[in-house]
Amino acid sequence: MSLAKNVEFLRHFPKLNGFNGLGIYGRSISPGARSPLVEIDGFGTNPGALKMFAYVPEPLPRASALVVVLHGCGQTAAAYDFGTGWSTLAKRYGFALLMPEQQGSNNANTCFNWFNPGDVARGRGEAASIRQMVARMVADHKIDPRRIYITGLSAGGAMTSVMLAAYPEVFAGGAIIAGLPYGIASNVREALGGMMQSTSRPANKLGDLVRKASKHKGPWPKVSVWHGSADRTVNPGNANEIVKQWLDVHGLPGEPMSIGDVDGHPREVWWNADGETVVESYTITDMAHGTPLGLSGNDERYGAEGAFLIEAGISSSYHIADFFGLTDRVSPANEAAKPAPAKIVPSAATESLQSSDLAATLWSRTHKPVHQPKPAPREPKRRGIDVGGAITRALTAAGLMK
């Protein structure tokens, strides 16, 4: 039976799954656990009907940076902040934090709708709501408009791709964790296909999707890509496609300019003519679907383990903040501050989520590209696939099964 027929078949059986709408899906902690985020109203017309949460450390340095962080499916802004440690980083290094939050009325599993044409186009839906939130933060806190960055996990990672493509003049850089390239899906069927199979596309076609998303002609945001090699929710091949997309936009060759290990995990790097790193890719060895956690470069820990927040021996939040150029100096008010280690004792339900495949989420330069043969994308290690289970979890994550 084809995927399309399976989708149509399972549409008629919304009560097949026994997860009660996945009420704990992706939630490793209680929604408001120890996060300093504050909800903000009145940030614009909000066409995507999202919620706005923010954290601004005091005192905030003049012309500070802003980081936008997008949670994954089933998570809340506060839960993802606590799990990843972004507000701790913001306090320590003196930058503002914006965390949009999806609502169940928009998506049954609180996934950002990264595949819905009405939510991903410039000036429309959820993308426009996030842009309005950024404008509110810039106006309220005198943010340096040249230092605005964005990152996200899974569906939040795919929405990060959307924002970088739709508003490239707004963001100086982005980091996509277990996400997908911009523009590869315009409906649920295409989204599921992209998640499970990650069809290889020509680099120039992927780049055109970004170039056509706005009238922007450059310079383009720099991009950091993170993906677990054992991810069975979003095919790891998507990382290669994201890299291809942004290398083409930046006019860079497919061959990495530098290859090395960071905290035991492979990292590939590309830089521009000025020697600035503009694309990097981390492959987190043997890691499943989630955000990698670990000690930072100065042996400090940010965040806490939980569902889709995975101890991997590398702190993605810290390295992403460093990639954005935010860790050069500690905020004067926090010279002696050290992030306290956070320890969560997982419940039986959370442990089950972490170990079960059924807990998956849906979630410039102007010089010409170098014309040389590009290596074929690395194929992820093949594993046995439970087709029925894969379709069921993907449909649940997409909000088609409750």
CA 163 – CA 284 distance, rounded (Å): 24
| Catalytic positions, written as ranges | 154
Q: Residue 335 has what pLDDT?
A: 54
Q: What is the pLDDT of residues 277-305, one digit of tens each?
A: 999 999 999 999 999 999 887 778 898 88
Q: Residue 167 has what pLDDT?
A: 98
Q: Residue 307 has what pLDDT?
A: 85
All residues at 6 or more sequence positions from 388 whose CB lies less than 8 Å from its CB, including other chains: none
Q: What is the pLDDT of residues 224-235, one digit of tens each?
A: 999 999 999 999
With CA atoms as reference, report the closest residue to 396 among 44, 74, 99, 117.
74
76 residue type, one letter: T
Q: Token pair for residue 3?
A: 């995927």
Query: Mean pLDDT across the stretch 118-130?
Result: 98
**Considering the chain, what is the average pLDDT of its residues?**
81
Confidence of residue 122 (pLDDT cuts 50, 70, 90): very high
Q: Is residue 161 over pLDDT 60?
A: yes
Beta strands per DSSP E along 198-357? 222-228, 258-262, 265-271, 277-284, 291-293, 309-311
Percent of the chain topping pLDDT 90: 70
Which of the two residues, 13 and 335, has the higher pLDDT score?
Answer: 335
Q: Is residue 139 over pLDDT 80?
A: yes
Confidence of residue 402 (pLDDT cuts 50, 70, 90): very low
Q: Residue 226 has what pLDDT?
A: 98
